[in-house]
Structure 1
Amino acid sequence: TRIRQALRLNAFIRISQLAAGTCEIITLDRDSTQPKRTIARQTARCACRKGQIAGTTRASPACVDAHIVRSRQWCEMMPCLDDEGCDLLVNRSGWRCAQPGGRVKTTTVSYSAGMSSLTS
């Protein structure tokens, strides 16, 4: 039984560890109850290197330089896809990604109990 327990623990550690500088999406919730609008909330887990913090790059969770988040210069982390333009929201609470066809994705950042949350 000790060998079995050791194998289970080993498997758990391998599954729960992320490579340094990487992120994974843990939860994704979409609400499409409003016409022409989808609200998406996602939670990501990141193993960032020193000087980095969880952020968004090309519409995916990523480790970014911490100064970007502290200064709220969101577009510096390149959160939009390659064909989209990035604009800061007026109060710097998030950013907008504008697609060539006119569709706009707005992302706001909120903090609670030491965690940050992204809502698109």
Structure 2
Amino acid sequence: MQLVRVAWALSAAAAGLCIVVFLQVHYLGEGQLAAGTCEIVTLDRDGSQPRRTIARQTARCACRKGQIAGTTRASPACVDAHIVRSRQWCEMLPCLDDEGCDLLINRSGWRCAQPGGRVKTTTVS
């Protein structure tokens, strides 16, 4: 009797998984992102200068209404559009937890300062 219950439970779980996969494929389609998510499309690093690494990253986001692509905790994310429009970059929490955020003088980006004195500068183009 217990074996029958286990078999039914496994069958139900498998059917549920099939339904979830079907819904994802049917509603999202191949190559589409779920609302409110981002993915990194390209990441280029240039370490040719001593003590300096230049990285360029391109992300693709599917943001909800009132949101726009931004950066949260050093990863691409959907953030409130007013943050980007007002160029108050530190409001989107772009730095890691142990880093401090400072706006660049011309508001073209921000700096994340690590406790050891290392600085990551991000500019928006």
TM range (shorter): 0.7 to 0.9
Q: Give the paired residue count.
A: 100
Question: Which residue in the other structure is 2:43 paired with?
Answer: 28
Say which structure is richer in strand: 1
State how far apart, in whole Å, the 2-side matches of 1:15 and 1:85 are. Answer: 39
TM-score, length of structure 1 as denominator length:
0.80
* RMSD of aligned alpha carbons: 1.3
Structure holding more helix per residue: 2
Map 1:1-120 to 2 at 5 A: 14-110=29-125
Report the Cα offset of residue 14 of structure 1: 3.0
**Deviating 4+ runs (over 6 angstroms):** none
**TM-score (structure 2 length as normaliser):** 0.77
CA distance in 2, matches of 1:32, 1:14: 38
Give 1:15 deviation, angstroms.
2.9
Identity %: 88
- CA shift digits 1:23-69 (9 cap, x unpaired): 00000000000000000001000000000000000000000000000
